[in-house]
Amino acid sequence: MTIEILQFNAFAPFLENGLRDRFLVHRWFEIDDREAWLNGRGSAVRGIVTGGNLGVPTALIERLPALGIIAISGVGFDKVDLELAGRRSIRVTNTPDVLTDDVADLTLGLIVSQFRSLAACDRYVREGRWPAAPYPLGRKLTGRRFGLVGFGRIGAAIAARLAPIGPVAYHATADKRNQLRYFSDPVQLAQHSDVLIVATSANPSTVGLIGREVLDALGPAGVLVNIARGSIVIEKELIAALVEKRIAGAALDVFADEPTVPEALRALPNVVFTPHIGSATHETRENMARMVMASLDAYFAGTPVPNAVV
């Protein structure tokens, strides 16, 4: 019998092809009348494949009585109701480790881009403005103090890249007993930092963790970098801090309501943006696809499921 799954968003070809080869795939994001579809096909769906930035709405899980696995292409699982999944014995899997290097590399690129205005410099040359005047001076990066909010796999990889550039400190739920300076309070970490990097996981305890108090502690020369989740930073407070020059700038790969980014934020010249591309390389997305397929194959074969969160 053909196994039916629900694909929640578009993926790179490697994963798209793997899903089509194995399953009858219903593409949720292409269904116009979702209510009619759920009434007609919802009871046949046994698996969902989704991105970590999207997850699955609880209301949708409740409409799929045969659902047995939610396979997340990504590391975050904050947008899946794990309690409900546990009650219904629905396996939830993700793709840890393989995206660590790419996210850490992008973080370094965002920091350099913020301090040396790389995106603006590119536009300056392309628009033919260089002959009229040299580009304004940037800011020196070497020797800056870096603070990491979160010190899991990705935080540790970022720290390793930044250590040759300047001193690194961190805040986490517990002291990791490493050689880096630890702060139990994110406000104190921000006071100690020139660049504050949000690299913590998204969960109820971290929603809105970075607000006015932390931003004011970072100060008018400080830069905020977010490569974790938009929900961790109070976006309206970040915009106010940037507009009022209570911090110097920001570099953002994630946002509160992706892919929508407020005009008030997009209009600011002291922000560098990327469209949630932390893991977006050919090599890493192919490895993530392999992990998603391995989880699905194991579940439907009745064997132990790798990378299970629930």
- Which amino acids are annotated catalytic? 229, 258, 276
Place of tokens 């590399």: 105
Q: Is 80 left (phi over 0), alpha (psi -120 to 50) or beta?
A: beta
Residue 29 tokens read as 């994001």
Give the span between the Cα atoms of 95 and 306, in whole angstroms.
Answer: 9
Residue 163 tokens read as 């250590």
Beta bridge partners of 224: 196, 250
10 Å Cβ neighbour count for 85? Answer: 21
DSSP 8-class letter at 306: T
10 Å Cβ neighbour count for 61? Answer: 19
Give the span between the Cα atoms of 34 and 61, in whole angstroms.
Answer: 13
Q: Please provide the size of the chain in residues.
A: 310
Give the span between the Cα atoms of 174 and 182, in whole angstroms.
Answer: 9
Q: Is 226 left (phi over 0), alpha (psi -120 to 50) or beta?
A: beta
What Å distances lie between residue 259 and 53, 77, 130, 225, 277, CA to CA? Answer: 10, 18, 33, 18, 12
